Amino acid sequence: MARLKSNGEELLRYKEIITYPIDNCDCIQDIVRTYSVRSNGKILRKITTRYNVTDGLLHENYTSGWKIYAKIKSGYDIKDRIAIMKQKVVNAKTYHLKDNAILSFELS
């Protein structure tokens, strides 16, 4: 498991949120993939699964912790890559997936 402190300063953080209903119970499941772009060229990812019952009684979160997801190659400028990633997140639409799932993006 990677630690945020040992991987440099955070330059960008964004989230992919997938929301879909679970048919066998009255709850909504969110899968949140959080990405953190670090100053040392590494991209860390944390996956959180949230169960929320519609009446508000059950709220459970399961998280995987931060793991190294990718590395920016040494020939690329980190600031240029961050600008490209930020533009993709800002221009991203909300997508409707199969099984009534919804995919959305947000900057943190």
Over its length of 108 residues, how does the chain's per-residue pLDDT go in tens digits? 788 888 889 988 888 888 877 665 667 678 889 999 998 989 999 999 887 766 656 667 888 899 999 998 888 888 888 888 888 777 777 777 766 677 777 776
3-state helix, strand, coil in the chain (%, to 5): 20, 50, 30
The structure tokens listed for 107 are: 């900057």
Contact 62, 30 (CB under 8 A): no
Q: How far apart are CA 31 and CA 62, in angstroms?
A: 10
Contact 88, 81 (CB under 8 A): no
Q: What is the pLDDT of residue 54?
A: 62
Contact 48, 62 (CB under 8 A): yes
Q: Which residue has the tokens 């190659």?
A: 73
Q: What is the pLDDT of residue 89?
A: 78
Q: How far apart are CA 44 and CA 52, in angstroms?
A: 26
Q: How far apart are CA 33 and CA 47, in angstroms?
A: 5
Q: What is the pLDDT of residue 24?
A: 59
